[in-house]
């Protein structure tokens, strides 16, 4: 009995051990299969795409296809910078033709034969076109047989702007040189600029990517170049010879204007050469967006003509005058409707992305936008830059500061003796021409342009109140009105001007404040002057200037829109604003005597003085806005070495106001839509008025 129990116990023990081993086996199998399933899923869904791409990349390459660059239009929709379609012939070597390789040397004769046949065909189809030599075709600039500028599989541009006959022939005979060269006709575009040279420095121009990719002044291109080195998305790959925005709006809105690459995926050989007939996939490029300026072509061309004509008039009395700058900005929107830096040039010299040495010598003093940065004059005799002292145009702000600081009231009187005295030696600083004005109120100090009032009632009291901190306080006031800071205009390269009153070398604190109070210690740009004028017109709102109003896609849909944007506010009482506006009534009858709004516009002339060629030279400055009671347009004009602002700059401003009134209407009613009338007011056959 005991033996049977023991046998039964052993049997049960064996069964339990077997079951345990069987369970362990099934568990192990389960774990192994789970790992296999998870790993398979990882390979398929996580690592699969990458592995697939790596496998494809070993035998294929993506060749970027450049997009068509978007257009830049005027406010009326006129193309100012636009892309013109051209047909380009590319050739891709299908063998090794290098001089540094035995096999390449062996293959050279058949290549030369093919290229000579190609050259004969160029001459036959387009005898008046460029006729390159065999050596030029084999050079690194064309076929680049040593692969210095290209990978072996990269197509080489060998002829652009093909004629219809050339396009037809090469499309039909693209396999003409089977096994030697693969030919391909590709539609591209060249950049063209309006023949009237509209806002050239504002619109900008082009350069080649390889010329700017590592330039620290172009961080946008530096970033793209670094991304490409690490294998960026093919749609944003920039090619070495691709033209990119180099200045002005072309640079500012490069990201929108460029569009996105397409690409052609080709099969390559183990030697990294293109395999004939090996194209696997083509993705078409996306055209760039269209940039719409607020600049009106008609107003802009009238502005440019006004400056050019005025320079010629002034040269009779001021032989060194050679440049002029103007900005017209809407008071209620911040839209810049005209921005002129004259003289200008034909931007088509840059349309290929580079400029010849001869062309550059002609424009080296013209390509900078003098309305936003210092520009050297084009005439070497002229020594005044575009950024000048503001002269008496600062006086409305000086009076505002004096009122805000409590130095005087709106009804406080002052006796102007024609000069003010400063320092222990009682050095006299005179009004222009030593003019004695007599008893005046603050608004009259602006209208009559009293230097003495500004010094005695503002400059001196400021120093007494703030002591050594006075120049910083003055600078802060200037910056409130956009002077000495960026205006935030949508253009690259804006400068902030210079504040000489902050420098000890400019004299004692008293001397600096005396001269700063009437505009002889701060140099600012015409754009800053225009923004300041808008603030005077809208009573303290600092608006961001907008060159561009909107951006649309190739279908006309809105991509981005730019509206009114307040970037600062200067708080002064209405009484103070009224005083300043009343004072902006300088006599400019010669320029505005027959102006339709002559009794309803605010203005201030300025004549800033600089020591040049061992003498004091006068720069003409002028600001104005109209209408006075409902301001619509603000204008700022600077004419270096042009003499008094009333005689040099004011006539230019008058023509800008007239051009705007014609196009848009200073009263909201465009004059171009109104019928012409006879002297008695009767209509002339319903005809519209003529462009001024």
- Over the chain, what is the mean pLDDT? 89
pLDDT digits (tens, 9 = 90+) for 634-648: 999 999 999 999 999
Q: What is the pLDDT of residue 675?
A: 78
Q: Residue 513: is its pLDDT beyond 60?
A: yes
Other beta carbons less than 10 A from residue 577's beta carbon: 18
Interatomic CA distance for residues 325 and 344, integer angstroms: 11
Pair 540, 570: CB distance under 8 Å: yes
Whether residue 336 contacts residue 74, with contact meaning beta carbons closer than 8 Å, is answered with: no
Residue 263 — pLDDT band, cuts 50, 70, 90? confident
Q: Name the nearest CA neighbour of 318 among 645, 680, 655, 552.
A: 645
pLDDT in tens, 536-592: 999 999 999 999 999 999 899 999 999 999 999 999 999 999 999 999 999 999 999
pLDDT bin (cut points 50, 70, 90) of residue 4 is low
Which helix (H) or strand (E) covers residue 111, if one does? helix 102-125
Q: Which fold has domain 60-293?
A: Penicillin-binding protein 2a (Domain 2) (3.90.1310)
In 3D space, the residue among 92, 97, 89, 108 whose CA is nearest the CA of residue 178 turns out to be 92
Strand 60-65, strand 156-159: pairing: unpaired
pLDDT category of residue 17 using cuts at 50, 70 and 90: low
Size of the chain, expressed as the number of residues it contains: 692
| Per-residue pLDDT at 355 exceeds 60 | yes
Using CA atoms, how far apart are residues 633 and 661, in angstroms rounded to an integer?
9
User: In what side-by-side order are the strands of the sheet with 388-389?
Assistant: 388-389, 522-524, 498-499
Can you give the pTM of this predicted structure?
0.84
Say if residue 625's pLDDT is above 70.
yes
Only one residue has tokens 């990349």, namely: 57
pLDDT band of residue 51 (cuts 50, 70, 90) is very low
* Mean of pLDDT values over 476-490: 97
Distance CA 228, CA 147 (A): 19
Indicate the SS3 state at residue 566. Answer: strand
197, two tokens = 């040279």
Q: How far apart are CA 622 and CA 602, in angstroms?
A: 11
The encoded tokens of residue 379 equal: 């005439």
Span of 91-100, 487-496, 510-519, 641-650 with lowest mean pLDDT: 91-100
Taking residue 138's Cβ as centre, other Cβ atoms within 10 Å add up to 20
> What radius of gyration, in Å, describes the C-alpha atoms of the chain?
36
Which candidate, 484, 512, 513, 486, places its Cα nearest to that of 499?
A: 484
Q: pLDDT grade, residue 58 (50/70/90)? A: low
* Tokens 């060249």 belong to residue: 190
- Judged against a pLDDT cut of 80, whether residue 9 lies above it is answered with no
Q: At what angle do helices 574-583 and 395-405 cross, to 10 degrees?
A: 150
C-alpha–C-alpha distance, residues 533 and 548, integer Å: 20
Looking at residue 542, what DSSP letter applies? E
pLDDT tens digits along 232-243: 676 678 888 889
Instruction: Pick the more confident residue, 647 or 85.
Output: 647
| Rounded Cα–Cα distance for residues 402 and 455 (Å) | 11
Q: Residue 470 in contact with residue 463, Cβ under 8 Å?
A: yes
| Chain CA centroid to CA 270, Å | 45
Ranking 221-230, 288-297, 481-490, 538-547 by mean pLDDT, the lowest is 221-230
Closest CA to 435 of 454, 422, 421, 448: 448
H-helix or E-strand spanning residue 137: helix 134-138
User: Which H or E run contains 302?
Assistant: helix 297-314
Give pLDDT, residue 141.
84
Q: Which of 543, 438, 516, 529 is nearest to 483 (CA)?
A: 529
Are 545 and 202 in contact by the 8 Å Cβ rule? The answer is: no
Q: How far is CA 398 from CA 436, 456, 634, in A?
A: 20, 12, 19
- The residue whose two tokens read 């051990």 is 17
| Architecture in CATH for domain 297-352+371-683 | 3-Layer(aba) Sandwich (3.40)
Supply the DSSP string of 324-384, one letter for each residue.
EEEEEEETTT-BEEEEEEES---GGGGTTS---HHHHHHHTTTSS-TTTS----SSTT---
The H-or-E segment that residue 119 falls in is: helix 102-125
Q: How far apart are the first and last CA of the chain?
A: 133
Let me know: does 616 contact 610? Beta carbons within 8 Å. Answer: yes
Mind listing the pLDDT tens digit for each residue in 442-467?
A: 999 999 999 999 999 999 999 999 99
Confidence of residue 15 (pLDDT cuts 50, 70, 90): low
Contact 432, 424 (CB under 8 A): no
């Amino acid at each position: 009995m005991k033996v049977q129990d023991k046998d039964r116990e052993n049997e049960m023990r064996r069964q339990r051990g077997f079951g345990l081993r069987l369970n362990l086996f099934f568990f192990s199998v389960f774990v192994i299969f789970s790992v296999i399933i998870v790993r398979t899923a990882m390979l398929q869904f996580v690592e699969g795409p990458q592995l697939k791409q790596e496998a494809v990349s070993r035998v294929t390459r993506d060749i970027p296809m450049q997009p068509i660059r978007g257009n830049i239009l005027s406010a009326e929709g006129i193309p100012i910078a636009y892309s013109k379609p051209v047909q380009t012939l590319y050739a891709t070597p299908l063998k090794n033709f290098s001089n540094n390789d035995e096999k390449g040397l062996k293959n050279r004769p058949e290549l030369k034969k093919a290229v000579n046949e190609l050259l004969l065909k160029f001459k036959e189809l387009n005898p008046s076109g460029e006729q390159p030599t065999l050596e030029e075709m084999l050079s690194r600039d064309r076929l680049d047989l040593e692969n210095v500028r290209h990978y072996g599989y990269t197509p080489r541009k060998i002829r652009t702007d093909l004629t219809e006959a050339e396009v037809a022939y090469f499309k039909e005979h693209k396999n003409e040189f089977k096994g030697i060269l693969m030919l391909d006709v590709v539609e591209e575009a060249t950049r063209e600029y309006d023949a009237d040279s509209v806002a050239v420095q504002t619109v900008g121009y082009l350069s080649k990517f390889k010329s700017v990719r590592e330039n620290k002044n172009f961080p946008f291109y530096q970033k793209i170049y670094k991304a490409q080195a690490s294998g960026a998305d093919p749609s944003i790959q920039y090619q070495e010879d691709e033209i990119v925005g180099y200045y002005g709006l072309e640079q500012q809105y490069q990201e929108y204007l460029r569009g996105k690459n397409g690409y052609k995926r080709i099969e390559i050989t183990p030697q990294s050469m293109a395999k004939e007939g090996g194209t696997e996939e083509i993705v078409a490029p996306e055209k760039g967006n269209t940039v719409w300026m607020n600049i009106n072509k008609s107003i802009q061309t009238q502005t440019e003509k006004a400056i050019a004509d005025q320079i010629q008039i002034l040269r009779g009395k001021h032989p060194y005058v050679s440049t002029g700058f103007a900005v017209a900005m809407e008071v209620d929107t911040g839209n810049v409707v005209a921005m002129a830096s004259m003289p200008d040039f034909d931007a088509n010299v840059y349309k290929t992305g580079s400029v010849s040495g001869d062309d550059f010598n002609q424009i080296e003093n013209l390509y900078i936008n003098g309305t936003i940065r210092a520009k050297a004059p084009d005439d070497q005799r002229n020594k005044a830059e575009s950024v000048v002292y503001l002269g008496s145009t600062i006086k409305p702000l000086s009076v505002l500061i004096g009122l805000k600081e409590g130095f005087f009231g709106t009804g406080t009187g002052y006796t102007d003796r024609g000069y003010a005295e400063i320092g222990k030696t009682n050095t006299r600083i005179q009004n222009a021409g030593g003019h004695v004005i007599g008893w005046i109120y603050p608004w009259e100090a602006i209208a009559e342009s009293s230097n003495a009032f500004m010094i005695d009632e503002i400059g001196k009291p400021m120093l007494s109140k703030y002591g050594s901190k006075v120049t910083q306080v003055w600078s802060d006031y200037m910056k409130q009105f956009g002077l000495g800071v960026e205006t935030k205009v949508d253009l690259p390269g804006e400068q902030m001007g210079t504040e000489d009153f902050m420098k000890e070398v400019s004299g004692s604190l008293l001397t600096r404040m005396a001269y700063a109070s009437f505009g002889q210690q701060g140099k600012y740009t015409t754009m800053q002057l225009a923004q300041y004028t808008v603030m005077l017109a809208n009573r303290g709102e600092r608006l961001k200037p907008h060159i561009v109003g909107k951006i649309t896609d190739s279908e006309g849909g809105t991509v981005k829109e730019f509206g009114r944007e307040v970037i600062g506010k200067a708080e002064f009482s209405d009484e103070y604003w009224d005083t300043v506006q009343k004072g902006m009534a300088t006599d400019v009858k010669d320029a505005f005597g027959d102006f339709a709004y002559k009794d309803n516009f605010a203005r201030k002339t300025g004549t800033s003085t600089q020591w040049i060629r061992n003498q004091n030279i006068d720069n003409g400055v002028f600001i104005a806005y109209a209408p006075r009671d409902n301001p619509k347009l603000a204008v700022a004009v600077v004419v270096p070495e042009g003499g008094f602002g009333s005689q040099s700059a004011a006539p230019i401003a008058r023509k800008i106001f007239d051009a705007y009134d014609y196009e848009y209407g200073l009263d909201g009613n465009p004059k171009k839509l109104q019928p012409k009338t006879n002297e008695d007011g009767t209509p002339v056959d319903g005809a519209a008025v003529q462009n001024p």
